[in-house]
Structure 1
Amino acid sequence: MNVRARFVAIIVVLAVLLGAAGSYVGIQYFGTTSNENSDQTANADQDAENFADLSEDEQKEFIEGLSGGADIEKVEQAFSVIQENSLIEADENQLIEGAIEGMLDTLDDPYSTYMDKETMEEFDQSIESSFQGIGAEVSMVNEKVTVVAPIKGSPAEEAGLKPNDQILEVDGESVEGLDLYDAVSKIRGEKGSEVVLTIERPGSSDPLTVELVRDDIPLETVYTDTKEIDGKKAGVIEITSFSEKTSTEFEEALKELEGEGIEGLVIDVRGNPGGLFTDVQEILEQFITDDQPYVQVEDSQGEKSEYYSELKERKDYPITVLQDEGSASASEILAGAMNEAGGYDVVGTKSFGKGTVQQTIPMGDGSTIKLTLYKWLTPEGNWIHEEGVEPTVEVEQPEYFYTNPVEIEETLKFDDNKEQVENVQVMLEGLGYEPGRTDGYFSEATEAAVSKFQAEEGLSQTGEVDEETGGKLQELIVEEVRSGENDRQMDKALEVLFN
């Protein structure tokens, strides 16, 4: 048996991931730190490079040193017993991969996973210019595939998927018991192909069915805008994820806005599921001065590394950060640092809450282990894992921003009293109609509002909500949300900016 296969616990320090679902291939370890831990990392890298040159006995000794003297022979014995005696034919590669997956499963950590060669190839696509799928960042939460955030402009966003939606089925097949990457492989697919997701949404008593058409998902990550408020000009930079080019794109966008004479800046990381640590690091170094760390990293032994910029003077204009429940990991690093180290306000709702750091560990045959090795802490040493970053100014969006896809199994009509009616009433109210109430009872006022909506949209004027009327309601609500015209969080961020 090959020594590389036998001793699968080799820890090779190569790459860092901060995405909530690990959708981004990592790059070299954190970089320059304020203490001697960087030297320890360099030594580990050197050890890893020299490993292949060692004899089998030396490799075994090296690995046993890393494992603290664990009884590796027991694993080898189990492998031999199964391979030589099992009535069921045992494939060597399957046994090895099963052993790796089993070890990772015992960690009870949704972010530590094993990816075979095929899965790793799909994983790699996430740092290319685009990939094909539905465009949603997902994670494993309480053993359920959970949406962290839909990607801007993706089929997932257009279909109304929301943070914390839990995916129960893909095309009618349950994903229960699958690991994250097996579930993701079922969701992804070629452009133009259809997929039906059954989801469980917090606050909704019945599962929802969402139909999507897969598409190309471009990885544009930085968008800019300017807004006027009280005669002052504010720049807005939206960051949808942190990938390899994000920090460069951000720097260019900021220079362009500053050249236009902005008097304040809003950094919008709502719905941003995270990404590469190095990119959020490079962005923070443009705002946080060198007198305090912008983030801390703690290893399994409790040793902490602090990360500092070389910036001497802060920007001469005010800044606010926008976040929501879909802001995770690297987004939370940014929000936490800007608040605690920069003193800037964070506007919106509480963030997702991912405070761990993963590293990819190549296994030599195209497969990879992604293992949680560190926790990251805010500048003041707070660990936000499963807690999230609290906004300094809490603002909810209008109620219709949180409505569900309209599912019509039976036409909704006068005197009905059910959850679907409440959902429709909130939509009608958000579009400027007056349903009279939003408690789920289909009243005469609701009937009149539906009839008026149908008349203005050229639909059959029945006063009842059938599949066509429900679909049109949903379409217009999505357009309304994406228009940003009633974006209370953005309005408050601008208000806070100049106060």
Structure 2
Amino acid sequence: MNINKALLPIIVGVSILLGAGGMYAGIMIVDGNSSAPVIEQADDATAGVIGNNGGDYTISEDYIEKFTAAYELILEKYYENVEESKLLEGAISGMLDTLEDPYSVYMDENTAKEFMESLDSSFEGIGAEVSMTNGKVTIVAPFRDSPAEAAGLRPNDQIIKVDGEDIEGLSLYEAVLKIRGEKGTTVTLTINRPGVSDSLEFEVVRDTIPIETVYSDLVEENGKNIGVLEISSFSENTAERFAEELTKLEEEGIDGLIIDVRGNPGGFLQSVEDIGNLIIPGGEPVVQIENREGETVRHISNLDSKKTYEIVGLINEGSASASEILAAALKEAGGYEIVGQTTFGKGTVQQSLKMGDGSEIKLTLYKWLTSGGNFINEVGVEPTVEVKQPEFFYASPINLEETLTYDMTNENIASAQVMLQGLGYDPERTDGYFSKETENAVKEFQKAAGITVSGEIDEKTAEYLQMEIINAVQGREFDLQFNKAVELLTGQ
């Protein structure tokens, strides 16, 4: 089999990162300090032959003649002058489009350069991951504590306009170039959100986003110490940081461990394999990579002995790619409980292949399979214990065009009612009608917030309400998934 374990593909990623650096790889493997290709490329990357799986594929002379004829016809006959480079790049993009694979794309020299620059330890942007889903630029997950999260962007939001400009027809990379920008600048995103009839607008102030990927905590509950390790993405040093924090927790003495990969869009393949070596029982596969002939290579955990404490994983619809590998390994190879909701579903493997002039093609080369050999692409990893967060976690932001008052009806009122109800100010309905009960709930909230008590939802009230919701979502009091994981580990 020609899948060299030391030369596995550089990208399995679901997404690209909306930062000044451009694109962020979903799963990457490195050889030393540089990305390692799995396909041997000739020095002349414009040659018509690329070796793959031991075979050589030549282009038919008839096809070359047909392509050349079309190329020359357009150059000579089209009613306006056309740049030759644009025709060539369009032809390459067209070939990739016929694959109907959102993860196989062409990157020109500038885009490819930005792609690699984005692998730094920080970036400037809004802090969200996107993919191209059904032709729409779609949020996979906002980063923790990012401007995107603070603004209220959520997984599965579809970006349809950037600063009022329609982005339909743009490639994923072209769209990202419009969204990214310098720290302190503002970008306005127009969003279609599933279940919401009207489009939503978000003003997001770009910032520097440090890529700290491992967060640890120790929670004491019912007389037991529960360690918490949250992985926001799998960067080059994530496994090292995970090992450090896990060691600290174990030295403090833990009775159970929660591994949280909610909203984690992916990262380096080597990182998730190395983390698997720390927590998956030895001799069990962490992940399998399969080529077009159906041949697989498996990464087997080399952990000496199974952990003496139980582990619970946390997942949601924003968990993708590498985080799905880890979740599936915990579930299938470790036999551990997984709490939350079904993951994103990204099960193919890409590699960026150089074209010789600075441009690259990111091409799907493999499938990755779970520990048990399951292909989760467009399916996701199902939790063993399904838990949905409170309804207000999913409430749409309030976009005010006018003050909301008694006897009005609209979707903004419905969102406000859901938020009020979640925070304990019960309006007794969530259908969007501004009733007297809603007015009373608003007054109670305004009084508690220390703002003018009017019973109306003006800009200030909406701002305070949404700020309280963000605080509630980021805390643990209302986090039903986290609390269920603690319950499973403490037996309470």
Determine if the TM-score, normalized by the shorter chain, exceeds 0.5.
yes
Amino acid of the structure 2 residue aligned with 1:349? Q
Contact 2:261/2:319, CA 8 A, preserved across alignment = yes
Shift of 1:69: 4.7
Counting matched residue pairs gives 471
Cα RMSD for the two superposed structures: 2.3
Q: Secondary structure, in 3 states, of the residue corresponding to 1:17?
A: coil
Contact 2:337/2:385, CA 8 A, preserved across alignment = yes
Shift of 1:367: 1.5
Amino acid of the structure 1 residue aligned with 2:12? L
Point out the more displaced range, 478-487 or 290-299: 290-299
Point out the more displaced range, 367-376 or 114-123: 114-123
Q: Distance in 2 between matches of 1:376 and 1:358?
A: 10
Residue in 2 aligned with 1:35? Answer: none
Confirm or deny that 1:52 pairs with 2:43. Answer: yes
- Partner of residue 165 from structure 2, selected from 163, 173, 191: 173
- Partner of residue 439 from structure 2, selected from 447, 464, 468: 447
Change in CA separation of 1:397 and 1:157 when aligned onto 2, cut-off 3 Å: same
Shift of 1:374: 1.0
Q: Secondary structure, in 3 states, of the residue corresponding to 2:457?
A: coil
Q: Distance in 2 between matches of 1:204 and 1:197?
A: 16
- Partner of residue 479 from structure 2, selected from 462, 483, 487: 487
Contact 1:417/1:441, CA 8 A, preserved across alignment = yes
- Partner of residue 98 from structure 1, selected from 83, 90, 93: 90
Structure 2: state its 5+ residue gaps.
1-6, 17-22
Confirm or deny that 1:398 pairs with 2:407. Answer: no
Change in CA separation of 1:297 and 1:61 when aligned onto 2, cut-off 3 Å: closer
Amino acid of the structure 2 residue aligned with 1:354? K
Shift of 1:340: 0.5
Change in CA separation of 1:259 and 1:458 when aligned onto 2, cut-off 3 Å: same
Confirm or deny that 1:266 pairs with 2:262. Answer: no
Contact 1:322/1:347, CA 8 A, preserved across alignment = yes
- Partner of residue 468 from structure 2, selected from 469, 476, 479: 476
Amino acid of the structure 1 residue aligned with 2:15? A
**CA deviation string 1:76-124 (max 9, x = no partner):** 4433444455453232322221111111111111111111121122222
Amino acid of the structure 2 residue aligned with 1:344? Y
Q: Given the two structures, how large is their TM-score scaled by the length of structure 1?
A: 0.89
Change in CA separation of 1:479 and 1:291 when aligned onto 2, cut-off 3 Å: same
Change in CA separation of 1:419 and 1:79 when aligned onto 2, cut-off 3 Å: same
Q: Distance in 1 between matches of 2:161 and 2:59?
A: 43
Matches for 1:201-216 after TM superposition, within 5 Å: 201-216=193-208
Change in CA separation of 1:53 and 1:215 when aligned onto 2, cut-off 3 Å: closer
Q: Given the two structures, how large is their TM-score scaled by the length of structure 2?
A: 0.90
Residue in 2 aligned with 1:67? Answer: 57
Q: Secondary structure, in 3 states, of the residue corresponding to 2:106?
A: strand
Matches for 1:125-144 after TM superposition, within 5 Å: 125-144=117-136
Matches for 1:310-389 after TM superposition, within 5 Å: 310-389=302-381
Residue in 1 aligned with 2:11? Answer: 17
Q: Distance in 1 between matches of 2:484 and 2:358?
A: 48
Q: Secondary structure, in 3 states, of the residue corresponding to 2:118?
A: helix
Shift of 1:61: 5.7
Shift of 1:386: 0.9
Shift of 1:44: 6.2
Change in CA separation of 1:458 and 1:28 when aligned onto 2, cut-off 3 Å: closer
Matches for 1:240-251 after TM superposition, within 5 Å: 240-251=232-243
Shift of 1:63: 6.5
Point out the more displaced range, 429-438 or 316-325: 429-438
Shift of 1:73: 4.3
- Percent of paired sites with the same residue: 54
**CA deviation string 1:229-262 (max 9, x = no partner):** 2111011000001111111111111111111111
Residue in 1 aligned with 2:406? Answer: 414
**CA deviation string 1:285-312 (max 9, x = no partner):** 1122343322222222222222212223
